[in-house]
Amino acid sequence: MKQDVRKLTFDKLKDYVLETGLPAFRAKQIWEWIWVKSAHNFDEMSNLSLTMRAQLAKDFDILPISVQTDQKSNDGTIKLAFALHDKSLVEGVLIPAEDRMTACVSSQVGCSLSCKFCATGYMDRKRNLDPAEIYDQVVEIDKQAKRHFDVPLSNIVFMGMGEPLLNYKNVLQSIERITATDGLNMSPKRITVSTAGIAKMIIKLADDQVKFNLALSLHAANDVKRNQIMPINETNTLKVLKEALLYFYQKTGNQITFEYIVFDNFNDRIEDAEELWHFAKSIPSKINIIEYNPIAEAQYQNTTADKLEQFADFLKSKKLTVNIRRSRGKDIDAACGQLANKN
C-alpha cells in the first residue's frame, strides 16, 4: 500500500520533490493543496503539470474521510457519519449557537474506557484516528456551518468518540495542522480537548506547554461513585487527577473546565455539589453542568430541573463559575454521550 502523502512532514515532502528532480517551490504548492485547500486527490492540483500529478499518484495516496450520512436536529444541530478509508465509521457534530459555531470531533474509532453512561463506551476501540482524519472532520463540519448557517466554524471540541489522550501524538499533530498558518489557521484558544482523566498524559500536556484548553469529564467528586461510572478512575484517582490538573495550570496558565453530568438520584444531591466544590475550589476552573442524554445501554436518567438548578445554585453560592449546558441534538442521537454510529 502506498504511503498517505499527508503523513509526510514538509521537510520530507521537500526531500521527495528534490529527489524527483523538481524545483523546491513545488513542495510548497503540494503542501498548500493538501492542507489549505484540502485536496482529496492529485488531479485537483491544477497548478502542477499532468506528469507531476501522475508521478504523485504513483508514489502516494490521499486517504480523505467522506460524509456517509448527515442528520439535522430540530434545534439545528447536525450530526455527520464519516466513512474512513478502511470502511470504519466515526461521528462528528456541528453545534450552532448565537455566538459560536462548534465542531465536536472524534479521535478514535470506538473507545476503550467503558464509561457506563456513554454510548461510545459500549463499543470496542478499533483504532486511533490519524491526524489527517481528525483534520478532515473539522474541514467537513466547517463546510456544513457555511452551507447551513453562512458562518464558519469558531470552536472545536474533542468530545466525540474516543479518548483523545490515548491518541496523544495524533491529536496533537492534528491540532498543529488545524492551528497552523499553512493549515486552517484557527486559534488554539478556540480548541478544547476533553479527557476522562489520564493523569500522566495531563502531565505530558503540561510539559509540552500546549496552548489549547483542557476539560475533564468529572461527573462525580468522590472516588466510590466515580469508580462506578468511570472505571478509569480506579487507576487515576481524584487525588492523582487534582495534582495533575494543578501542574497543568501551573505550566500553561490555562484554567480547567470540569464537565459534570447530573444523573437522577446518583450524583445530584447537595452533598454531591459540596464534594464538587471541595474538589474544584483549589483549581482555577469553571464548571459545566450538563443535562444527561439517556442511552439504551444504561439505566441512568437525567435529574429533575429543580434539582439541577439547586445543584448549580449551591456551586454559585460558593463563588464558582458555573454554566448549565442544555442538550443539543438529542432527537438524532447527536447529544453528549450518544455517539455510537446509529443513523
Active site residue 234: no
* Amino acid letter, residue 340: A
> Which residues touch 262 (CB under 8 Å, ≥6 apart)?
268, 289, 290, 291, 292, 302, 303, 307, 308, 311
Measured from the Cβ of residue 212, the count of other Cβ atoms closer than 10 Å reads 21
- Dump strand ranges (E) for 110-154: 127-128
- Among 91, 133, 140, 291, the one annotated catalytic: 91
Q: DSSP letter at 130?
A: P
- Active site annotation includes 91: yes
Q: How far apart, in whole angstroms, are the C-alpha atoms of residue 42 and residue 49?
A: 11
Check: CB of residue 46 under 8 Å from CB of residue 58.
no
Please state, in angstroms and rounded to a whole number, the distance separating the CA atoms of residues 267 and 273: 8
Side chain identity, residue 207: D
- Active-site option among 104, 111, 115, 336: 336
| Positions marked active-site | 91, 336
